[in-house]
Structure 1
Amino acid sequence: MADEWKASAAVEGDDRSWKLLEKALLASVQEQRRARRWGIFFKLLVVVYLFAGLALLAPLFNLQKGVAGSGSHTALIEVRGMIADQEAASADNIVGSLRAAFEDANTKGVILRINSPGGSPVQSGYIYDEIRRLRVEYPAIKLYAVISDLGASGAYYIASAADQIYADKASLVGSIGVTAAGFGFVGVMEKLGVDRRVYTSGEHKAFLDPFQPPKEEEARFWQGVLETTHRQFIDSVKQGRGERLKVDGHPELFSGLVWSGEQALKLGLVDALGNTSYVAREVIGEKELVDFTVQESSFDRFAKKLGASVAEHLAIWMGFQGPALR
């Protein structure tokens, strides 16, 4: 009997020990969870304070480098990368820089330094029109486009509005054409056994849908849109360059081909060979360069990337984007 009681007591003692150990382990886990939650909270708080500070400092970083009253100078504006909305070379940024440069009383001349493959015809056209307007409003200030590595398509569209265009002998110039590309997934869907169901209230509302076979009449229509945009591009270039273009005998001039700077000079696409320093020093007569390019802060670049729409990028990838000057 005594032995049974001792055995029972030992079992109860073991149970209590396990329960105590279990409670201790649970308490430890809960404490770790609380510590982790507080750690995440404080890290988020630091991030919030960091971006709040950057937001307050952003206007300082967005100021243009050019400052009125800095003495006689050549104003420099960079056109770099894709010409598109919300990009560094957007129409709003370039036009704002152009206006600031022309309005500065100490600006002796303006250089538009270009290194771009082109982009949106709308953005390019906006910049083109503003350059021509500013040239009329400020006739004493000449604007020179200087192409470095690449001045193609929409970038050349912009350059053609300048008083003169300069390029390096090895620069790539031209590409006067329009493109709109996408993908077709009809065959893939057939192999996978997937049906596409689209409901529209317009006969041609889904004519760019990459999951449906193209219709001949819709393909002709879309080609007409591209040709209309191409004609607008050509008309603007002819208006900007005038008789300097060697159109006669060169039917390929507006075919979308691209030439070296040396070849472009012979075709009248550029006026002379030279770089930014040469134009400022020898053509404008003022070697002092002041950069009027709108400078985006790191905060702005991060915010744009963070706020970029996934749907927009998918639409571009799947072929729903509009025409592009490339």
Structure 2
Amino acid sequence: MTGGPFKRMFHAWSASRADRIAVVRLDGSIGSGAGGRGGLTGEGMESVLRRAFDVEHLKAVVIVVNSPGGSPTQSEYIAERIRQLASEKGVRVLAFCEDIAASGGYWIACAADEIFAARTSMVGSIGVVSSSFGLSQLIERLGIERRLYSTGESKARLDTFSPVGEGDVEWMLQLQAQLQETFIAWVRQRRGAKLTGSDAELFNGDVWVGRRAVELGLVDGIGVMRSVIAERYPDAEITAVDAPTPLLQRLTGGQVRARTSAAVLQGALDAVEKRADWARLGR
């Protein structure tokens, strides 16, 4: 048994100096829901991304994306932070699209130096969508009077409980067009000459399954995370960097009781919206 303790110490020392791949999961819709609950945000991901890029002996950071999208602003915040940290640390970033990397999910994936997808992944949706519910006729039938006061005729555009005003739809479409231009510019900046499809095909809001996404240049290759890492970095160890679960969420099992009927209604509408985001893309 001579040398046993020294061998264990040597193996422990070797393991501590092994190359590492930090893996961060981005799973779910992007942006906060009612009351700031749920969803991926720049602030919420800050500590996770920092810890990932601070891993010792870091060879690369892997971003696993499984998201139908959400807030353009939060998508931009997360993507820009990934690029900033990658530049500071001089580390390559690989993105892996799981079930869905669409809209804001694809925006974030574009922050990587290389993007991979499974054969069955759904990728793309480079467009902007806005949705809401029109309940003006419902409250009228229930005998409910809507009282809404604002300073400025444009302050309360597209109120859920009021009829659509003149020019409101055109105003919304103009906003969407500006956001679309920003999204397209980001994709072009990050993907550059890799893009092979026409603008009409790439930027019409459609989604594609893995192999077609590769052909269009939206994705660099077909591959799943562990297989690609094993091929690229055979001697590296994978370090998962998870977001901490808030104490209140742990204590309540992830369920927080709404305190008012308005919160209940808004929470239900948010849930329907999120479910619709996934359902549009087949999940």
With the shorter chain as reference, the TM-score category is 0.7 to 0.9
What's 1:129 paired with? 80
Letter in 1 for 2:223: G
The structure-2 alpha-carbon separation of the partners of 1:309 and 1:99, relative to structure 1 and needing over 3 Å to count, comes to farther
How far, CA to CA, are the matches of 1:192 and 1:210 in structure 2?
Answer: 15
1:82 counterpart = 2:29: yes
How far, CA to CA, are the matches of 2:235 and 2:154 in structure 1?
Answer: 57
- Report deviation, 1:109: 1.0
Q: How does 1:81-230 map to 2 (within 5 A)?
A: 81-85=28-32, 86-87=37-38, 89-139=40-90, 141-192=91-142, 194-230=144-180
What's 1:261 paired with? 210
Letter in 1 for 2:204: S
What's 1:271 paired with? 220
How far, CA to CA, are the matches of 2:92 and 2:264 in structure 1?
Answer: 39
Is the Cα contact below 8 Å between 2:136 and 2:162 reproduced in 1? yes
Letter in 2 for 1:155: G
Letter in 2 for 1:229: L
How far, CA to CA, are the matches of 1:98 and 1:297 in structure 2?
Answer: 17
- Report deviation, 1:216: 2.7
For structure 1, the 5+ residue unaligned runs are 1-67
SS at 2:167 equivalent = helix
Q: Which has the higher contact order (CA 8 A, sep 6+)?
A: 1
- Report deviation, 1:121: 1.3
- Report deviation, 1:142: 0.8
Cα deviation digits, residues 31-71 of structure 1 (max 9, x gap): xxxxxxxxxxxxxxxxxxxxxxxxxxxxxxxxxxxxx9573
- Report deviation, 1:210: 2.3
1:232 counterpart = 2:175: no
- Which structure features the higher share of helix residues? 1
For structure 2, the 5+ residue unaligned runs are 1-14
- Report deviation, 1:204: 1.9
- Report deviation, 1:299: 4.3
What's 2:193 paired with? 243
Is the Cα contact below 8 Å between 1:94 and 1:293 reproduced in 2? no
How far, CA to CA, are the matches of 1:187 and 1:88 in structure 2?
Answer: 31
> What is the count of residue pairs matched by the alignment?
252
The structure-2 alpha-carbon separation of the partners of 1:255 and 1:302, relative to structure 1 and needing over 3 Å to count, comes to farther
Is the Cα contact below 8 Å between 2:22 and 2:62 reproduced in 1? yes
Is the Cα contact below 8 Å between 2:158 and 2:165 reproduced in 1? no
Higher Rg of the two aligned structures: 1
The structure-2 alpha-carbon separation of the partners of 1:312 and 1:127, relative to structure 1 and needing over 3 Å to count, comes to farther
Q: Under a length normalisation based on structure 1, what TM-score does the superposition of the two structures give?
A: 0.69
How far, CA to CA, are the matches of 1:189 and 1:175 in structure 2?
Answer: 35
How far, CA to CA, are the matches of 2:155 and 2:124 in structure 1?
Answer: 34
How far, CA to CA, are the matches of 2:179 and 2:250 in structure 1?
Answer: 31
What's 2:11 paired with? none
Task: Indicate the percent of aligned positions where both proteins have the same amino acid.
Answer: 36
- Report deviation, 1:125: 0.6
Letter in 1 for 2:137: G
How far, CA to CA, are the matches of 1:299 and 1:190 in structure 2?
Answer: 39
What's 1:28 paired with? none
- Report deviation, 1:287: 4.5
Letter in 2 for 1:100: R
Is the Cα contact below 8 Å between 1:177 and 1:255 reproduced in 2? yes
Is the Cα contact below 8 Å between 2:64 and 2:95 reproduced in 1? yes
The structure-2 alpha-carbon separation of the partners of 1:70 and 1:122, relative to structure 1 and needing over 3 Å to count, comes to farther
Is the Cα contact below 8 Å between 1:74 and 1:286 reproduced in 2? no
Cα deviation digits, residues 226-271 of structure 1 (max 9, x gap): 22122211111111111111243x5121111110001100000100
Letter in 2 for 1:267: L
